[in-house]
């Protein structure tokens, strides 16, 4: 392992920055087969409904949220994690204390390999 493959969830100097929506900011870590995204969501901030062909997993590291996926809403809190199959519409709205979510994309989402804004192609 070299330093280029070792990171910390809380080191804000690391990762490719992307403002997914107002108050929903992430840092992207691309691999060859998977891509990690450390998303910080301000209190009560929310994304927009979108989908992509890649499989996604989300892990709630801090806080709470309402996860919307495939037309249903789920209350999620720290320690919960979930799978989002490719092509399934989804979004999230943080609870009153905000949220930190680790997302995994497999395979990587090419549109997230550079800094930018938005959720990419829906």
H or E segment and range at residue 52 = none
> Which positions from 22 to 61 touch a second copy by CB under 8 A, shown as an x/- string?
-------x-xxxx-x-----------------xx-x-x--
Query: 48 and 91 in contact (C-beta within 8 Å)?
Result: yes
13 near a second copy, rule: CB under 8 A: no
User: From the CB of 100, what's the least distance to a second copy, in Å?
Assistant: 11
* Of the residues 82, 116, 118, 120, which one makes contact with a second copy according to CB under 8 A: 82
Could you tell me how far CA 19 lies from the centroid of its own chain?
Answer: 11
Give the pair of three-digit tokens for residue 94. Answer: 């943080």
Paired residues of 73 in beta bridges: 68
Query: 20 and 32 in contact (C-beta within 8 Å)?
Result: no
Write out the residues near a second copy by the rule CB under 8 A.
1-2, 5-10, 29, 31-34, 36, 54-55, 57, 59, 67, 69-70, 72, 74, 76, 79-86, 88, 90, 102, 104, 106-107
């Amino acid at each position: 392992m070299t330093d280029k493959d070792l990171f910390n969830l809380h080191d804000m100097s690391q990762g490719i920055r992307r403002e997914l929506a107002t108050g929903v900011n992430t840092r992207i870590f691309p691999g060859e087969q998977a891509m990690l995204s450390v998303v910080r969501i301000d209190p009560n901030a929310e994304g927009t409904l979108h989908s992509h062909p890649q499989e996604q997993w989300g892990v709630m590291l801090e806080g709470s949220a309402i996860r919307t996926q495939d037309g249903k809403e789920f209350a999620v809190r720290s320690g919960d994690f979930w799978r989002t199959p490719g092509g399934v519409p989804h979004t999230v709205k943080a609870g009153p204390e905000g949220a930190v979510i680790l997302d995994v994309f497999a395979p990587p989402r090419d549109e997230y390999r550079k800094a930018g804004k938005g959720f990419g192609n829906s």
